[in-house]
A and B are shown apart, each in its own frame.
Chain A
């Protein structure tokens, strides 16, 4: 009865002239997660022409992130370098949400003054803007830092353009010998530099949480051995050179311990090594199976690792003090090489389907698995420090290359290539 009455009232209300004043409401569903249009105006240059085109670095970074669709230079209506020169209406017509302008100037070619501004085109407001004074060597890195600021301003997420990658390259020399190198590069793969060369294999580089050190496995002494190397000084030392296998180092979140795989008792088991004291703590006691590739949960209380204790390689979780391991993966008959996202919510892994190996991501709460990569010869997934991308190694034309994919699988990046075999990448933490 009351409902009928309400209906009647509603109908009468509709008949009233002022119902025209009732607010019309339109519902928008769908939408897309497409790249945001953004205008990046080439920076104005004064004085000595800089060796690096900062606005180009920014453009490249934003474009490669897959989150932005920078306007083509030819589409730029005008080329302002200062706010007073900006006519927002023009940029609105181009539907670019953001507008980046800036200037670079230098008197001597040694030190540069750089300034940039990011504008909200629709609202006509500045979203970010800074002035810098950098040596010429810092220009490129400054470009990455500015990219991070822009990215964060527009997406709300931390940018990772100024982070670094570590990976191992393999080169065959003219005499057919293999040369291994441990390299680090900018996050876009550019600007690689070698920190260690060896005729023997180098494996599993891992960044310390402070980004100052790398732990890796080197066979330089004939057997696997875990080293920790200071990046600035190049100082290095062996932290694990036990009998048998010494592999798969992983830094604890506090940076004081390493989780390792050691087979000094016969079968590979997980241990925790206190770096400063050298004290070892065994975590797993399962002589019948291989337990390896440990990674720390962000809370520092559990290790996630690969084990074939179930017959096939699967991923498990175990408390750092040992105890009962919990199986995490149940999809497919091969799941290995886990990495945990900084927020502890997602796990990247190598997931085999029909003999092909893909990078997949599993939601640790729901257990849902999503395959992200396409190649099928993919390995060594490593989360970006913002958790948005997963770096991995794959093969292209029979050659190992680095690639990245967004955790939702929509954005795929191919990193800069140097033409050499690249494997076992690792994404650095954020610069402090």
Chain B
């Protein structure tokens, strides 16, 4: 990541060094005045008009051309590196947004570097122009000083042409640099656009991914929800089934218990009924016996009134005290003859105490009973 920047810096460094070397060579290479002049201003170089032989210029030119060529080569190399760099950047842009940001910064730095370089180049050119102009002035002064020195003049013209050519060359270089810059700018823009697109694409992709992820998340959540609901439903059904099973089991148990209880109750009842029937039979026997005894006893005490019409019949209700004593006698259905009714009542009283059975249950039936009196 740092490497392209270093490379750029390195490239810039080389370029600067080349220019410096060129200037030093120009200064040092020329024959300097013996008497050193005080240099008041560092930025303004006072070019010592020096006579240079053609050979020297040619060689110098050759040397410059070679240097230029080297520079171009370097430049080409640099552009190639830039292309590579862009290519790398593009590749990298596609990979990550972070890299994009780094690259952008780097590209900016690079562009700034290039601009600085271009400006330095301009400054150098301007310096060169300044030097040329100073040299023209020097030549003019030499012209003035050395009249008509055509040759020198031509030489100066050639020198000027050479300078012009150099200038043109520089212009061409500048243009080429400009083009390179524009190209770099376009490349940058393209790269930016590409970056933008890539970024948008990445963004879209990211959004799409996010959307997908969100959907996937939603889907997952939905599925999770469904799963949970299904789980809950399953549990609910299971719970219901469990409860139903429990209820069924309880009902079955209850039914069984009830059936057993019912069976026991039935048995108990049957036994009770049988016992009651036995008791009832026994009691009935005792009651029958005592009915006869009481019948005979009451009859013995019944003194019917004479002179009564036929067919009289009176029904009495008799309440007997525990000892057999007659407690209360009342007429339930009168014969219509008060004396006859009375005779029957008196018979019951006279028969008191009535012989009750010792069996309490049988005796109970004589606690309250009815007597029907009829003579026939």
Q: Is the CB of B303 within 8 A of A36?
A: yes
Which residues from B are CB-within-8-Å of A15?
A: 273, 276-277, 280
Tell me if A67 and B369 are in contact (CB < 8 A): no
Given A30-B375, A32-B304, A410-B306, A24-B365 contact (CB < 8 Å): yes
Contacting pair A27 B369 (CB below 8 A): no
- Please indicate the chain A residues that have their CB under 8 angstroms from the CB of B302 in the complex: 28, 30-32
Please judge, given known A-B contacts A23-B369, A122-B345, whether A29 and B303 are in contact too, CB under 8 Å: no
Complex Cα spacing A92 to B364, Å:
24
**Contact, CB under 8 Å: B370 / A408:** no
- Cβ–Cβ < 8 Å partners of B277 in chain A: 15
* A410 surroundings in chain B (CB, below 8 A): 306
CB-defined interface of A358-400 with B at 8 Å, one 1/0 digit per residue?
A: 0000000000000000000000000000001000000000000
Report if B350 contacts A (CB, 8 A): yes
The answer to whether A26 touches B369 (Cβ under 8 A) is yes
A122 to B301, alpha carbons, bound, how many Å?
Answer: 13
Interface centre among B345, B350, B365, B370 (most CB of A within 10 A): B350
A25, A95, A122, A408: the one contacting B306 at CB < 8 Å is A408
Interface centre among B280, B283, B368 (most CB of A within 10 A): B280
Contact across chains for A33 and B273 when beta carbons are under 8 A apart: no
Whether the Cβ atoms of B366 and A30 lie closer than 8 Å is no
Inter-chain contact B295/A157, CB cutoff 8 Å: no
In the complex, which residue of chain B has the Cβ closest to the Cβ of A386?
B307
* 8 Å CB contact of A35 from B295, B299, B303: B303
A137 within 8 A of B: no
Residue in chain A with minimal CB distance to B362 = A20
Q: Given A15-B280, A31-B299, A31-B347, A24–B369 Cβ distance below 8 Å?
A: yes
- The reply on A97 being an interface residue by CB < 8 A is yes
Q: In the complex, A309→B290 CA distance in Å?
A: 63
Closest Cβ of chain A to B203, distance in Å, is 100
CA A31 to CA B343, docked complex, whole Å: 10
B107 within 8 A of A: no
CB interface residues, A 21-70, toward B, < 8 Å: 23-36, 67
A24 and B366 contacting across the interface, CB-CB below 8 Å: yes
CB-contact partner of A24 in B339, B352, B370, under 8 A: B370
B307 and A157: CB pair below 8 A?
A: yes
Chain A residues within an 8 Å CB radius of B339: 155-156
Whether A92 lies near B373 (C-beta < 8 A) is: no
Task: Decide if A406 is an interface residue (CB 8 Å cutoff).
Answer: yes
* B120 at interface by CB-CB < 8 Å: no
Minimum CB–CB distance from A155 to chain B (whole Å) comes to 6
**Min CB–CB distance A153 → chain B (angstroms):** 10
Q: Whole-angstrom distance from the CB of B231 to the nearest CB of chain A?
A: 63
Tell me if A407 is interfacial: C-beta within 8 Å of chain B: yes
Q: Which residue of A lies closest to B277 (CB)?
A: A15
B347 neighbours in A (Cβ, 8 Å)? 28, 31
Most buried by A among B303, B371, B376: B303
**Residues on the B chain within 8 Å of A323, using CB:** none
Cβ–Cβ contact B371 & A407, under 8 A: no
B344 contacts A by Cβ under 8 Å: yes
For this complex, 6 residue pairs linking A to B, each with C-beta atoms less than 8 Å apart, are: A24-B369, A26-B369, A27-B371, A28-B299, A28-B344, A157-B307
Q: Report which B residues bind A (CB closer than 8 A).
A: 273, 276-277, 280, 283, 287, 291, 294-295, 298-299, 301-307, 317, 338-339, 343-347, 349-350, 352, 361, 364-366, 368-376
- Apart from A24-B291, A35-B303, list 6 A-B contacts with CB within 8 A: A20-B280, A23-B368, A26-B295, A29-B299, A31-B304, A31-B375
